[in-house]
Structure 1
Amino acid sequence: MSQKIITIFGATGNQGGSTANAIFNDSSLASKYKVRAITRDPSKPAAKALASKGAELAQADIDNIESVKAAVSGAYGVFAVTNYWETQDKQREIQQGKNVVDACKAEGVKHLIWSTLPHVGKLTNGELSKVEHFESKAEVAEYAAQVKGEMLVSYFMPGYFMQNLTKQFKPDDSGVLTLTLPWNAQNTWVPLLDIQKDTGLFTVGLLEAGSAADGAYVHGVSEWYHPQGFVDELAKVTGKDLKFAEEPASVESIAKIGNKIAEELQENMLLIRDWSYYGKGTEKEQAESDKFLVPGSKKTTWKDFAEKNQWPF
């Protein structure tokens, strides 16, 4: 039986790389799927590493729909993610996403896995209005649902990257390494995700689920944790004196910052604090997403991550 081609956009990045490796690291999946890795620079080490594992390397300009069509031509499945931060242009990212959706439909792709995020304005009834890098992807997801026709479309929604926390501890006035964020130490639920290892367990799991995953929105969470809990666990693993400090923040105080990116990121933190990122109470519903994991796979716990990663302190 011939392998099914899976086109992966952003294959040398966190999400695309994890999706590719989830296939390469499982012999049964590797025999079933052929990875077509889309990269802007096939000569970069990460691209060469994928090629050494058996990936077909291809280039594509996501701003050009004809280029995207060529990238997905003949593919059974596609995983796609866009990068708002390259342009910080909401409308451009939306158009990039629509290019992927339209190209997949035109080329007869059977299953599109779209990396998306909550539409923050709608979720919070307009309370939070500045989180553009979430809403651009969410609007593409809505577009895909409207125009997909017979194509299967599944939606992967990555949580808060565990990797972010490796850079966020700073000494306080007394020299104690402190994580300072506008979260409640004991009550805020944070959806932690090992973006590099666990993304592919969800995305390839959706691919494997086929029609059962059509229209599914999967919360990409390795482990839900309160801030005090994951800081205490990290202190135990590293043997360092660490603490968490809640930074007061409100929509009104954020509006006074005067820096678009800083305001957006701060509202992102309020989304976690007040809305559990995906919506109030969603920390209780993780099992609904976990049923789409690659069968037999095991997610990374925060303790696993803390023990296996290098910390700059």
Structure 2
Amino acid sequence: MQPRLDPNLVTITVVLATIIHLPALRCQDTQPYDTCGQSVKCGEIEFEYPFWGLGRPAYCGHPSFQLTCRSDVPLLVLESVTYRVLVDPDSSTNTITVARNDLWSTSCPQYLHNTSYDSTLFNGNNFGQEDVSLYYGCRNLTPGGIPAIANYRFDCDVNGTGRSDSYFFRTSYIVPEFENSLVRCNNSITVPVDRSRVNGLTSVTATESDLSSALRAGFKLQWMANDDECDQCVRSDGRCGSNSTSPELFACYCASGNFSLTCNNSNVNGEGKSFSDLVDLNILVGLLTCSSSI
């Protein structure tokens, strides 16, 4: 009597044989997996998830992280304000260093915007930086008890309103009596600055050139774009992205197809997998479906 073959073993053998004879086999559904595994560059700066643009499809990133590239300078728009990305994003800490593009070459932008970003997507409070306040359209500003205020003055013509005195101050150093005088200024904005730079702006010898240097050095933001979901996806050998039809939803792109959370939907903690775990049912179905369409 001949031994009876295990049907599961037969299935696995057939699939493995298919893989061996069709090494270039790819389902159409695996295209996002291949595409989202490729980074993009603007100038010398390289980007992966959650960033997209520059030829990287929207489904490979988070909808709020679209990039453009201008003269090899990567630009990111947050809350209607355009920022320059200064160095490669640090994926180990999810941090990015940016600088205000409208304040890059002048302290007198055409339009005044506060430095703002969605606090559900970015955290900018834990990186040793402080706000600097810029006051525009100030006239007859003579606050009592504040010596050498002229050291923090610069001329500015904002949006054709005429040249007037403008001032920069370390925000935390603005005392109440000083603030009462600043109400004479037409507008003000705040910009985060690295603490190593902001210290120099409190010196009585600080100049507008020092202010420009501090602004161009930029500040750090930490992104929070489906971090937990993306971490699980990556640990299951997937690639992070967003749902192509509902961009607000996270998607995990896998070699075997697309899933809402993780590839294989198991073993995301990096624990050892058995042979049956490795030959996942989704992979088997995907491969058989591909082979039948060729």
Is the pair's TM-score, using the shorter chain for normalization, greater than 0.5?
A: no
Could you state the TM-score of these two structures normalised by the residue count of structure 2? 0.23
Q: Which has the higher strand share?
A: 2
Could you state the TM-score of these two structures normalised by the residue count of structure 1? 0.22
> Which structure has more RCO (C-alpha within 8 Å, separation ≥ 6)?
2
Which structure's CA Rg is the greater one? 2
